[in-house]
């Protein structure tokens, strides 16, 4: 194990405990990103100049509005040299015509292009410290460019990433002054800053939004997420509980937490543990629970083991099930978290 990996493990143990299988956590988020991410043209390139332009444009501007502007910009000034040789006023006018706001950013980008040509022979520097010497490039943008263009950055921590870390890790929520950067860097897999930063930012952008879409967006962190398990979805930028479409999500979270605590449980034992009014053949009984558990199984979160024993045998022998159960579900169903 390298020193970096060792210190990551120590940081995670100190700040988020040892309950999490960090390798599974990382690989599930990366797999989710591969299938669920939005297509943005700057994600299809590793041209540092094009990525620098996208990062400067997306400072305080919604990504959806940046797409057309970025394409037009790159078509007009396709290299750092062409931008450096342009008229500054043309760049500022372009910025204004594309409603990107904060026109100073156009001026700074133009000046940064000239710095790159004059001081770096037209090559965008890969080092985050050198990137911060460019006009208009602060530590956040420098790190993002180093990461997305050169796979050479630290964790990129914006409000989306903070929201994810706050919701997933109970210890972050409980800290007076959460060390977001420290934890984000400890979670970051070695040598994968490009894809990892894209993945965790995307999760915050399309799943862990202010009103989260945990199930609808197939969030891959549900089995570890404290917010999902407790139903408390507040966050640093969400001071009050967001409204939801119903309570089903909260019961999904309870199921995941209960299985995490107790391991495999029969369907009825699980039912009794997650709601006091559970009765196998009641409104919120076995059929209701079976529907939720089936969805969780379809989402790859739980395993359902069904034993097709002769009808009646398992029910009468099971302390979990009532004698007058009228459900037509298989007689013995047990549920556990997928590993
Ligand atoms: S389970 Fe929900 S709250 Fe937790 S990280 Fe995923 S989207 Fe956010």
Q: What integer is the mean pLDDT of 310-334? A: 52
Helix H segments across the chain? 3-16, 22-36, 48-58, 63-76, 80-84, 88-97, 104-119, 128-131, 139-150, 159-168, 170-174, 180-187, 193-206, 226-230, 248-262, 267-274, 286-298, 313-317
91, 24: one domain: no
Judged against a pLDDT cut of 70, whether residue 5 lies above it is answered with no
Are 147 and 194 a contacting pair, CB within 8 Å?
yes
Q: What is the pLDDT of residue 17?
A: 77
Q: Does the annotation mark 55 as catalytic?
A: yes
23, 46: one domain: no
Q: Is 202 inside a domain boundary?
A: yes
How far is 178 from 207, CA to CA, in rounded Å?
A: 22
Return the ligand 1 atom nearest residue 203 CA: 7
Q: What is the pTM of this model?
A: 0.78
C-alpha distance across the termini of the chain, in Å: 24
Q: Is 256 inside a domain boundary?
A: yes
264, 320: one domain: yes
Q: Is 238 inside a domain boundary?
A: no
Tens-digit pLDDT profile for residues 220-243: 999 899 998 888 899 999 988 887
Return the ligand 1 atom nearest residue 253 CA: 1
Q: Is 240 inside a domain boundary?
A: no
Q: Is 243 inside a domain boundary?
A: no
Report how many domains make up the chain: 3
Judged against a pLDDT cut of 50, whether residue 325 lies above it is answered with no
Task: Give the distance (Å) from ligand 1 centre to CA of residue 32.
Answer: 13
82, 162: one domain: no
DSSP category for residue 333: E
Mutate to test the pocket of ligand 1, among 25, 166, 201, 207 (most ligand atoms within 8 A of CB): 207
332, 286: one domain: yes
Which residues constitute the domain of residue 54? 41-150
Q: What is the pLDDT of residue 323?
A: 40
Judged against a pLDDT cut of 90, whether residue 244 lies above it is answered with no
203, 105: one domain: no
Cβ neighbors of 282 (< 8 A, separation 6 or more) are none
| Among 86, 117, 150, residue at a domain's last position | 150
Q: Which CATH number goes with the domain that contains 144?
A: 1.10.340.30
| Among 167, 201, 230, residue at a domain's last position | 230
Are 221 and 25 a contacting pair, CB within 8 Å?
yes
Q: Is 242 inside a domain boundary?
A: no
121, 45: one domain: yes
* Ligand 1, CB cutoff 6 Å, lining residues: 164, 167-168, 207-208, 212, 214, 219, 221-222, 225, 227-228, 233
118, 51: one domain: yes
| Among 150, 172, 192, residue at a domain's last position | 150
264, 208: one domain: no
Which candidate in 55, 162, 202, 315 is catalytic? 55
17, 165: one domain: yes
Question: Closest Cα to residue 56, out of 134, 170, 169?
Answer: 134
Q: What is the pLDDT of residue 81?
A: 98
Tens-digit pLDDT profile for residues 93-111: 999 999 898 889 999 999 9
Q: Is 239 inside a domain boundary?
A: no
145, 192: one domain: no
Q: What integer is the mean pLDDT of 297-308? A: 85
Q: Which CATH number goes with the domain that contains 225?
A: 1.10.1670.10
221, 74: one domain: no
Judged against a pLDDT cut of 90, whether residue 165 lies above it is answered with yes
- pLDDT > 70 in the chain, percent: 90
């Amino acid at each position: 194990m390298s020193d970096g990996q060792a210190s990551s493990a120590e940081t995670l143990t100190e700040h988020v405990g040892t309950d999490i299988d960090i390798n599974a956590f990382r690989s599930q988020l990366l797999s989710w990103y591969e299938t669920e991410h939005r297509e943005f043209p700057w994600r299809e390139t590793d041209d540092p100049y094009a990525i620098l332009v996208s990062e400067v444009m997306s400072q305080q501007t919604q990504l959806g509005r940046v797409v057309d502007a970025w394409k037009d910009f790159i078509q007009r000034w396709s290299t750092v040299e062409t931008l450096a040789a342009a008229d500054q006023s043309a760049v500022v006018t372009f910025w204004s015509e594309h409603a990107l706001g904060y026109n100073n950013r156009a001026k700074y980008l133009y000046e940064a292009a000239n710095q790159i040509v004059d001081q770096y022979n037209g090559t965008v520097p890969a080092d985050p410290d050198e990137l911060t010497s460019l006009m208009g490039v602060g530590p956040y943008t420098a790190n993002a460019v180093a990461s997305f263009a050169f796979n050479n950055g630290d964790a990129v921590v914006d409000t989306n990433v903070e929201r994810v870390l706050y919701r997933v890790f109970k210890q972050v929520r409980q800290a007076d002054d959460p060390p977001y950067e420290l934890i984000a860097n400890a979670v970051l897999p070695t040598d994968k800053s490009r894809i990892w930063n894209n993945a965790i930012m995307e999760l915050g952008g399309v799943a862990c939004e202010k009103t989260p879409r945990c199930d609808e967006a197939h969030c891959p962190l549900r089995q570890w997420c404290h917010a999902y398990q407790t139903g408390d979805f507040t966050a640093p930028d969400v001071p009050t509980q967001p409204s939801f479409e119903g309570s089903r999500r909260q019961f999904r979270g309870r199921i995941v937490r209960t299985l995490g605590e107790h391991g495999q449980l029969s369907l009825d034992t699980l039912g009794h543990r997650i709601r006091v009014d559970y009765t196998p053949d009641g409104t919120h009984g076995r059929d209701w629970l079976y529907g939720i558990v089936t969805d969780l199984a379809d989402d790859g979160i739980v395993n359902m083991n069904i034993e097709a024993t002769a009808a009646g045998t398992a029910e009468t022998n099971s302390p979990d099930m009532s004698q007058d159960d009228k459900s037509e579900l298989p007689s013995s169903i047990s549920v556990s978290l997928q590993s």
